[in-house]
Structure 1
Amino acid sequence: MSTLKFKLTLAFDGAAYHGWQGQRSGRGVEDQVQAALGRLFPGASPLVASSRTDAGVHARGLVAHFEAPRDEFKMPPRHLALAINALLPDDIRVLAAVRVRAAFNARFDAISKQYRYTVWNHPVMDPLRRGQAWHVPRPLNVAAMRAAAALFVGTHDFRAFTSKRPGVLKDPVRTLTRCEVRRRGPELTVVIEGSGFLYKMCRAITGTLVQLGEGRLPADGIGAMLAGGDRRTAGMNAPAHGLVLWQVRYRRR
């Protein structure tokens, strides 16, 4: 059967979902998008995504691909995003939909992923940000957080910054190309970019940086945490609702 392959760039508010991955309950973001595709193209292939996200985590740049039988695709390609969005709940949107070469793979062709975590550092929480930012009312030493963040850049064993899940952690080594803390008024943004991440790794890094900024963890302790590989020595996992999968990068072809 002749098929056409399409790349989707998706944004979603993850508050109501159990992460991207499909669930028996149907409460994965993937379930919603796959159902919409199935209504448009009964022969559509299963979605393949660049990343999974945890329950409650948001995205504005998750990438996925699917294939549709050529004889079922009867619209101009520029109408595809609008057609899918018409069948999705309001908290999920396809930002872009483009046709790609047959060899494209949203998961294996990705060269880097960027996550952003938002912290609202003020005694009073902004009620308009409560679903998108972690409220940290205590003062933070942002200079110390920035210095510590720089130590995560490079190739390291990150087993101290991942949570246990079923199975054996085969390879805890990951490479970060960017880890920085930005401040704009009471809003802090932790930007983390790399080729891949362990389970809850971004949340563990952010939680550690915040607790370090509060003075609850040693300012010079990141190197020892990485070297020791013991999850108990690092900081807490930041809450899921402050994390956004911001962008997935691919090589230009």
Structure 2
Amino acid sequence: MAEAQAAVDWTYFPPIGRRSSGGGQGPSELWNDVPGGYRQTWNDNVVLFLMIETLEGVEAAREIAKLPGVTGLFAASGDLGNFSGFGEGDAEYEGLITEVLEAAQDAGIHACAPLRWANRPGFTCFQAGTEGANIRRGAAAEIQQAEERFGSTGAGGTPVTGSGAAPLLANLTAECGSITYEADCNAAVQQAAAGASSMGAAEQEQIVRRLREVMGTNPTHATRIREIASQAGLTIR
């Protein structure tokens, strides 16, 4: 609770917070010509989202959500699992997420989550992937496209038909190549395995091969990855 109040204090000028307004700071030097004045309009335009990462944060979520100036609460999918010891889908984990969601709803502010939770009822704002993940995803998609286009003929040959596996492979590389958030990798595995079930043998083999690579790179996650794929209908031998 103290950290949340400090965040409000550092973000807002009085009377909401305790942010200073020295004459030599950026506002007066750079932005004081904004309509109405920087200092006078800041509190009406800034947004503040607080991330709930720990069990202590969940316990205090309802108090935090009611602090003046808090725009929304973010349910930290990875760290709530890290600090609780439970994973996405476990009843205990889902209870923590629900508590954060309801705290935000009861206070009339936004409930925020990772973008892959966009279909979860109640959440109204979302965090996209990290810059690193987006770069890896884009690079992987381009490499995959190039391999499919020229791989069987060599550069300058007749283009081959594109593969529906390409975006799934790119997402696996982005989320699981170097696992930052286990839940995001698990979601990518589930999506790839489920998508493979409607593909031809060659495309299925591409998915399986990439999953094997992911398991080899992340051996501590291999068993869970195999389980998720199997539940989605794809066997990895």
TM interval, short-chain normalised: under 0.3
* TM-score, length basis structure 2: 0.27
> Would you tell me which structure has more strand in proportion to its own residues?
1
Please identify the structure whose Cα radius of gyration is greater: 2
* TM-score, length basis structure 1: 0.26
Q: Which has the higher contact order (CA 8 A, sep 6+)?
A: 1
> Would you tell me which structure has more helix in proportion to its own residues?
2
